[in-house]
Structure 1
Amino acid sequence: MNDILNPDFIRELTENIITWLSINGINILIALLVFVVGRWISRRIVNLMRRGMLRAGVDETLTSFLCNITFYAMLAAVIIAALGQLGLNITSFLAVLGAAGLAVGLALKDSLSNFAAGVMIILLRFFKKGDYVTVAGTSGTVQSIKIFNTFLTTPDNQLVIVPNASILGGTIVNVTANDTRRIDMVVGIGYGDHIPKAKSILEELVASQEGVLADPAPTIAVSELADSSVNFVVRPWCKTSDYWKVRFALTEKIKMAFDEQGVNIPFPQMDVHLFKEEM
C-alpha cells in the first residue's frame, strides 16, 4: 500500500500513461470516431430498413426481428473495426471470441434451442401478434413473439410465457388464422318429440340469427340416437370474430324456442326394471 502511495511511483505511472497516450492517442481518437460514426450509420440503416419493410406490409414481428439482427451484426463489425484501429490482433481476438462463444453455447444449450425455435416461428409465420392460438397446451392471444419466449394473454387476462422450443415441438392451433369458422353444436330432444318439428325450429333460428353466413350453408341433421336423447348437429358458419357472440346467442334462443314449442331437452336418465323373485 505504501509503494502505491509513493510519490515516485505515482510520478512514474503518470509519465507512462502520458507517454502511452502520446503514442496511441491518435489511434484511440480514430477508434472512438469509427465506433461512434459506425454506430450512428448502423442505426440510420436499420431505421430506413424498418420503414421500408413496414411500408411494404411486412409483419411487425418479423420486421423487428430482422432489424435487431441486422443492427447487432453491423455493430459487431464496427467494434471489430475500432479494435483493429487500436492495433489489436483481430485474428486472435476472433479466435478467443469463437472459443468463448462455443463454451457459452454449450452452457446455454436449452436457451439456444429456444432461440432457434423463435427464429423459425418468426420466419415461417405460424402465427402473428393478435392471433388466438393453442400452443404447448395453453390457449391465448399472442401479445408478442420474442427470441426465446412467446407471450400470450388468456381470456381471463393472465399473462402466459411459453418457451419457443415447446411451441415448435408440439401442435400449433391458430384459431383466428382463417376469416370464417364453423360452430359445432349438439342439441338433443326427447325420443317422444317430433323430429321434423324440432328440425324446423332449429333451421328457422339459424337462418334468422345475425352473424350466420349463408355460404357455406349451415348443416342441421340428426346425428345420433343416444342413450337419453335424439341428437341433432347444428353447424352454422360465421366470421371468426363473431364466433362466441353467435354461439352464445344460438344456445340461448334454442332453449327458449324449445320451451315455447313444447320440445323437450332431456336429462340423462336410465330406466331400471325391478323383478320380484318368488321365494
Structure 2
Amino acid sequence: MRTILAQSATPTPDPGVDVDPSARITEGTEDVLRSVTEQIPQILLAIVVVVLFVLLGRLVAMLVRKALSSTTDRSESFLDVMSRLARGAVLFVGILIALVIAVPSVDLAAVIGGLGISSVAIGFAFKDILQNTLAGLLLLFRQPFEIGDQIEVAGHTGTVEAITIRETRLKTYDGQRILIPNSDVYSSSVRVQTAYDVVRSVVAVGVDYDADLERAKQVALDAVQGVEGVESDPAPQTLYTQLGTSTIDFDVRYWSSSRQADIRTVQDRVVVALTNALNEAGIAMPADVIELDARASFSDAVTRSRQDQTG
C-alpha cells in the first residue's frame, strides 16, 4: 500500500515543457547532418551534371559558330553573340536538370512558372538593358553596317570595332573609343561612309572676275585628274556655282576611296595641285574685297585725331 502511494506521489514530466534544450538542439543538428549526408551523392551528381553541360555548352557554341560561318557571311560579332546564346541556353538546361537531381522534391513546373513571373519584374527593373539587348540582336541580324565600317551615328563618327549585346563600339578618328547603347544606334539615323568603295568630295575655288572662265575650269580639271588617289571613273567635274563678292566660284568635284584617311590625304593633294596649276596659268584667286565707306563723320574723326596728335 505504501509502495502504491509513493508511486502515485511521484510527479510525471509535462510533455509541453522543454526539459533539456541542448538535447533537442543536438537532435536537430544530427537530423540536418543525416539529411545532408544522405543527399551528398545527389549533390555530387548535380555538380557533375553542371560541369558536363558547361563542356557541352562550349562544344555547342563551337559547332554553332562553325555552322554559321560556313553557311553565311555574317560578321564576327554576330558569330560571337549567337555562340554565346547557344552556350547559355545549354547551361540553363543543365542547371535545371542539376536542380532536379539535387532536390528531387522540387517542382520543375513551379520553378519555370516562377521564372516567368519574375521575368516580368526583372523586365521592368532592367528595361534599358533588355532594350539594348534586343536592339543589339536586331542590329546583328539586319547588319546595316559591319565591323570595320566608318559610320556617323548619334553625333559620333568613327570606325566600328565591335557590336555586342549591349553597345556598339566606335574608334574615333583621333584614337578614342566611344560606346554607344544599341537602342540609340537602332533608333537613330546612321550614315555609313564606307558602304561604297568610293565617295565624292568637293573643293570650292574662286577666280577673278577678269579671268577666262572656261580656261580656269580646264586648268583645274587637268590638275585634279593628275592627282594620285582621284578616281578616273566617275571622272572629276568642275561646275560654276555662284558670283561671290570678289570672285566667281566653282566646285571641283572628284571621287576617291571612302576611307576617312584616304579622303583627307587626297583632298590635301587636290588643294595643292589646284593652287599650283592656277598660279602657273596666271589665273588670279583674289581674296574678298572689303570696301570702307568714309562718311563725313568718319573723315571728321580722322581729322580731329590727327590734330590732337600734332597739337
State the partner residue of 2:48.
33
Please tell me the residue identity of whatever aligns with 1:100.
Answer: S
Please tell me the residue identity of whatever aligns with 1:266.
Answer: P
**Count of matched residue pairs:** 272
State the partner residue of 1:226.
244
Distance 2:286 2:112 in 1: 76
Deviations 1:222-244 (A, max 9, x none): 22223332111211112223322
State the partner residue of 1:264.
284
Q: Which among 158, 166, 175 is matched to residue 140 of structure 1?
A: 158
Q: Which among 17, 36, 42 is matched to residue 21 of structure 1?
A: 36
Deviations 1:23-66 (A, max 9, x none): 33333233222211122111111112223333454310111111
Correspondence 1:73 to 2:93: no
Alignment map for 1:77-116 (pairs within 5 Å): 77-85=93-101, 86-87=103-104, 88-116=106-134
* Offset at residue 268 of structure 1 (A): 2.7
* Offset at residue 249 of structure 1 (A): 0.7
Range with bigger deviation, 13-22 or 204-213? 13-22
Q: Per the alignment, do residues 23 and 255 of structure 1 end up closer, same or farther by CA in structure 2, a change over 3 Å counting?
A: same
Distance 1:247 1:55 in 2: 41
Secondary structure class of the residue paired with 1:184: strand
Where structure 2 has 5 or more consecutive residues not aligned to the other structure, the ranges are 1-20, 297-311
State the partner residue of 1:45.
60
* Offset at residue 132 of structure 1 (A): 1.0
Secondary structure class of the residue paired with 1:236: strand
Q: Per the alignment, do residues 15 and 217 of structure 1 end up closer, same or farther by CA in structure 2, a change over 3 Å counting?
A: same
Correspondence 1:196 to 2:214: yes
Deviations 1:73-120 (A, max 9, x none): 221111112112232111221222222221121122222222222122
* Offset at residue 134 of structure 1 (A): 0.4
Q: TM-score normalised to the size of structure 2?
A: 0.79
Q: Which among 179, 199, 213 is matched to residue 181 of structure 1?
A: 199
State the partner residue of 1:3.
none
Secondary structure class of the residue paired with 1:213: coil
State the partner residue of 2:265.
245
Distance 1:190 1:54 in 2: 60
Q: Percent identity?
A: 28
Distance 1:126 1:78 in 2: 36
Range with bigger deviation, 46-55 or 244-253? 46-55
Root-mean-square deviation (Å): 2.4
Distance 2:74 2:187 in 1: 26
Q: TM-score normalised to the size of structure 1?
A: 0.88
State the partner residue of 1:205.
223
Answer whether contact 2:227 2:273 (CA < 8 A) is retained. no
Q: Per the alignment, do residues 257 and 64 of structure 1 end up closer, same or farther by CA in structure 2, a change over 3 Å counting?
A: same
Please tell me the residue identity of whatever aligns with 1:224.
Answer: Q
Distance 1:215 1:170 in 2: 33
Secondary structure class of the residue paired with 2:283: coil
Range with bigger deviation, 75-84 or 18-27? 18-27
State the partner residue of 2:144.
126
Range with bigger deviation, 247-256 or 236-245? 236-245
* Offset at residue 8 of structure 1 (A): 5.1
Range with bigger deviation, 179-188 or 219-228? 219-228
